[in-house]
Amino acid sequence: MAFMRKYLLPILGLFLAYYFYSAKEEFRPEMLQGKKVIVTGASRGIGEEMAYQLAKMGAHVVLTARSKETLQKVVSHCLELGAASAHYFAGTMEDMAFAEQFIVKAGKLMGGIDMLILNHITSTSLNIFKDDIHHVRRSMEVNFLSYVVMTVAAMPMLKQSNGSLVVVSSTAGKIATPLLASYSASKFALDGFFSSIRTEYSLTNINVSITLCVLGLINTETAMKAISGIIDKDPAPKDECALAIIKGGALRQKEVYYDKSPWIALLLGNPGRQILEFLSVYSYNMDKFVNK
């Protein structure tokens, strides 16, 4: 009890004060003007919406997904909406060589990268997990491993621009979600990996922001088809969701919560985890790793 009164409560107080009173920068669409942005999974759904919003803000965009024809249409629409430039490279994120080469080519084409938005996922239906190991492997490779491969390839360019990495995840990457075990595992993996390297960057003075976007159910065609007849839940709109992701990345926020219910952000904020992460950092001596 004495320990709690002496240490834990003051720390919690300081932490909450910092959280609520630290000056928050306002988002302005001009922040994206002329910026060099990559969006994966951009042929439909939230990725397509993000491409259009970025185009309206005057960004340079390079898009990817598997379907060449659809990407061509999205790129044309981006140019109509005012993109500084718009290009695509089609390929599958099951192929790690494609994932890496895509980043190299996109970086060369734009002369650098300011923001990398990792958004694609492999197709997933709602099912009780029995024995589909192939889907577990594909989910981990497409939804997680390809994100890591692209991050590695983009990091020299993101360091150069003091840029932003944006990782699109889900509430299924924060809480247990029945019927979506493989998908949920791949989204939890994103949190473990990208939150850990975010702390490493902060401790070793690497100025690349990492934003993890925790989305609830969104009204994309894929999602509406997948839940039909199984879940009766009101989805949030994909255009507003796309803007929330871009804003979070531009403002260099650690996490973005976007869901129909405001309770999600409050309940998943997890002050226990934040305090433990904040405190654990003090036992590390990072001298050995700085500037390596």
Q: Is residue 94 close enough to count as binding ligand NAP by CB under 6 A? A: yes
Among 170, 182, 211, 253, binds ligand 4JX (CB under 6 A): 170
Can you give the chain as a three-state secondary structure string?
CHHHHHHHHHHHHHHHHHHHHCCCCCCCHHHHCCCEEEEECCCCHHHHHHHHHHHHCCCEEEEEECCHHHHHHHHHHHHHHCCCEEEEEECCCCCHHHHHHHHHHHHHHHCCCCEEEECCCCCCCCCCCCCCHHHHHHHHHHHHHHHHHHHHHHHHHHHHHCCEEEEEEEHHHCCCCCCCHHHHHHHHHHHHHHHHHHHHHHHCCCCCEEEEEEECCECCHHHHHHHCCCCCCCCECHHHHHHHHHHHHHCCCCEEEECCCCHHHHHHCCHHHHHHHHHHHHHCCCHHHCCC
Q: Is residue 120 close enough to count as binding ligand NAP by CB under 6 A? A: yes
- Total residues contacting ligand NAP by CB under 6 A comes to 27
Report the alpha-carbon distance of residue 274 to residue 277 in Å, rounded: 5
Query: Measured from the CB of residue 221, what is the shortest distance to ligand NAP in angstroms?
Result: 6
Q: What angle do CA 222, 227, 230 make, to 5 degrees?
A: 165
Q: Is residue 41 close enough to count as binding ligand 4JX by CB under 6 A? A: no
Q: Which of the following is catalytic: 88, 147, 183, 257?
A: 183
Output 164 or 182, the one with its CB closest to ligand 4JX. Answer: 182
Q: Is residue 151 close enough to count as binding ligand NAP by CB under 6 A? A: no
Q: Is residue 212 close enough to count as binding ligand 4JX by CB under 6 A? A: no
Output 180 or 250, the one with its CB closest to ligand 4JX. Answer: 180
- CB of 213 within 8 A of CB of 171? no
Output 270 or 280, the one with its CB closest to ligand 4JX. Answer: 270
Give the x-and-dash track for 226-255 against ligand 4JX (CB under 6 A).
Answer: xx---x------------------------
253 binds, among ligand NAP, ligand 4JX, none (CB under 5 to 8 A by kind): none
**201 labelled catalytic:** no
94 binds, among ligand NAP, ligand 4JX, none (CB under 5 to 8 A by kind): ligand NAP
Q: Is residue 67 close enough to count as binding ligand NAP by CB under 6 A? A: yes
What are the catalytic residues?
Answer: 183
> Which residues make up the interface to ligand NAP (CB under 6 A)?
41-47, 65-67, 70, 92-94, 119-122, 142, 168, 170, 215, 217-218, 220, 222-223
Residues found near ligand 4JX in the complex (CB under 6 A): 121, 124, 126, 170-172, 177, 180, 183, 216-217, 222-223, 226-227, 231
